[in-house]
Structure 1
């Protein structure tokens, strides 16, 4: 079963429509699709680990934060699935089972398994852009495969689902987003700075502080050494 699913996942990378149809028939395919999403979330967390480094998160909390971020990533995926499913309930649309959407859209997250490469200098951002487009195409192809729709119509469903998700996130989803942020901060043990400009400023400030801290520590050690030397001389000096 597991070998069959990973074989199907290989064809998903190739954007093969039949692979998405087969994925919905694999036993435990839904759970395996959710596993793909969790691993993609973990990979993305590793790719964005610079945020945890800059925020000086401790090693144990670092690992915990990666796990929590993967779970929050999976909840974001489920929200996208739900919003897309709500679009299929409209009178003019084609209805699809929620379980099939979970399997197909989850399998479409396969390209994001390589999101950890976003940590690469210079190449990270271009690679992430390619993976994002690949992921979008996989969702469109997968949706079209199980709904028997062309690429254009399938794209409209996926796009409407994404737009609906944005609307929900900026309205009724605000408390949920706030809760997710609090959970992430609690796992990290600090209030995480995630804005790029704020991260850059924080990193520059830390670099600027490093020479000062080093100089202070060096001065303190020299002072302590000199004091110890004076004490030693005073104790061992012969009387005049």
Structure 2
């Protein structure tokens, strides 16, 4: 890919039209290499480095560029000098023989929240992440960075509507105020776990249509609600507690 096109990948519309996204920094590139060992899709990356990383051994085609050029391509203010351009995954590249359970995020907006949630799902394993239309782009550089490489290890699907969700998962749970405690028996028996937008939650009409079982994380109620990423963390822990 030409350098002028790579600069455009900071914007969602160009990530979509060009079909690529940026992976910046040594740690993330290492995580990408790990993922490429088990998923052929990630082997199609292209690496750009400054002279500081000229000796870096990589499974991908590598191009050495100047510090000035790297500063123009990178999203961070002080780039390390190593950056990969990666094709966006296709639905087929995220499929697995055992789909397992899913976490569905309805109109999640904060890149940091999504990145943290992906880290949680990667840590526990065995779950995929589904994003509704209107959610933050998971290939936004801020999401990729905050995921710390988890985005390469978690099956991820975007633009999944609530209607499609109900057809795919017959047994849905939702984390919401006023539900049963998630520590009660039965929480682990669902196929899909639904979490709402940071400010608005999930529309009540949608929960009724989905026939979703509501659960609540018990607390002292000193504050109105938990951060979205914290709620997913606790739910994922409970699901894996056995």
Higher helix share: 1
TM-score grouping bracket, smaller chain normalisation: under 0.3
| TM, length-normalised to structure 2 | 0.22
Question: Whose Rg is larger?
Answer: 1
Higher strand share: 2
